[in-house]
Structure 1
Amino acid sequence: MTGRDTTRDPCPYSIVSDFGVGFALGVVLAAPWHAFKGYRNSPRGERFSGALTAIKAQVPVRGGNFAAWSGLFNASDCTLQYIRGKEDPWNAIMAGAATGGMLAIRSGPKAIAISATMGGIILAVMEGVGIMMGKMMGGDDQYKNVAPIVPTDAQAPPPAQSAPQQPQAPQPDAFAPDAPSAAPQPLPKSRFGFA
């Protein structure tokens, strides 16, 4: 596939991963909302238990809704990547429209058309903002591979002349009992000033 995003998991695995991410996102976003609603709608003296009851009753439902949307979207996106053979913003826009339509399938053709249109528009706006932010922040140019500069024969440094090897004197064993104690050598300073 051209333009493959290497920061994500490959397609079959990302579908399952996005179900979990969607559920977690739904739970995190819904918990404060339903805690506030349960607290506000409970009588005095029972507000804390009312908030907990509202969280236990509503937050898993919202998490499931987010998981369903996220999983369907990613399944549609992966299917479109496979069919079209490339990964670009059009896949996400069409996947958003397909997800909106699939989630409204029980409500009739008019609701399917409206939800699919809204899903496509929302994803088009999100993709457009993502592209705009990417261009403002420097785009993809900073992460492109650059071919190394290989010197030609005219630029190559001359080969080093190897000097004949001189026999090395044997080094005394530092742990031998008769070895003289040498003063410790200071560590070289790093570029940050630490030893």
Structure 2
Amino acid sequence: GSFAVWGGLFSMIDCSMVRMRGKEDPWNSITSGALTGAILAARNGPVAMVGSAAMGGILLALIEGAGILLTRFASAQFPNGPQFTDDPSQMQPAPFSDYRQYQ
């Protein structure tokens, strides 16, 4: 019902924001939440639109902020990831690199 309408409108606005701005960041979701709240409250008047826009923007800002904090916390657990070489010829040979000798 109404959650499907909210989700569809949010997704439409979010994808439009990504297309218009040319980047995908938390501001798209925050703005989409605010605009979705305002549009869905349009029949109740401008005061309700402003209130719903504020609630939608705040809710999505909290969700995006929590996601950013979780990502930073998780990345802090593994500070040094594997290092990859750009040139494979610089890699050391594998211990059994000459497979043909065993045939």
Task: Pick the TM interval, shorter chain.
Answer: 0.7 to 0.9
Are 2:36 and 1:77 aligned?
no
CA drift of 1:150 comes to: 2.3
Q: What SS class does the counterpart of residue 138 from structure 1 fall into?
A: helix
Are 2:31 and 1:109 aligned?
no
User: Residues 147 and 95 (structure 1 numbering): CA distance in 2 closer, same or farther, change over 3 Å?
Assistant: farther
Are 2:74 and 1:137 aligned?
yes
User: Residues 77 and 146 (structure 1 numbering): CA distance in 2 closer, same or farther, change over 3 Å?
Assistant: farther
CA distance in 2, matches of 1:91, 1:67: 19
1:119 paired residue among 28, 53, 56: 56
CA distance in 1, matches of 2:48, 2:85: 53
Q: Percent identity?
A: 45
CA distance in 2, matches of 1:72, 1:151: 51
- Decide which structure has greater helix share: 2
CA distance in 1, matches of 2:35, 2:23: 18
Are 2:89 and 1:151 aligned?
yes
Segments of 4+ in structure 1 off by > 2 A? 145-152
- TM-score relative to the length of structure 1: 0.42
Instruction: Give per-residue Cα distances to partners, 1:49-104, cap 9 Å, x unaligned.
Output: xxxxxxxxxxxxxxx11101100110010010000000000000000000000110
Are 2:26 and 1:89 aligned?
yes
Gaps of 5+ in 2: 99-103
User: Residues 104 and 83 (structure 1 numbering): CA distance in 2 closer, same or farther, change over 3 Å?
Assistant: same
Q: What SS class does the counterpart of residue 151 from structure 1 fall into?
A: helix
User: Residues 156 and 119 (structure 1 numbering): CA distance in 2 closer, same or farther, change over 3 Å?
Assistant: closer
Gaps of 5+ in 1: 1-63, 161-195
**For the aligned residues, what is the CA RMSD?**
2.9
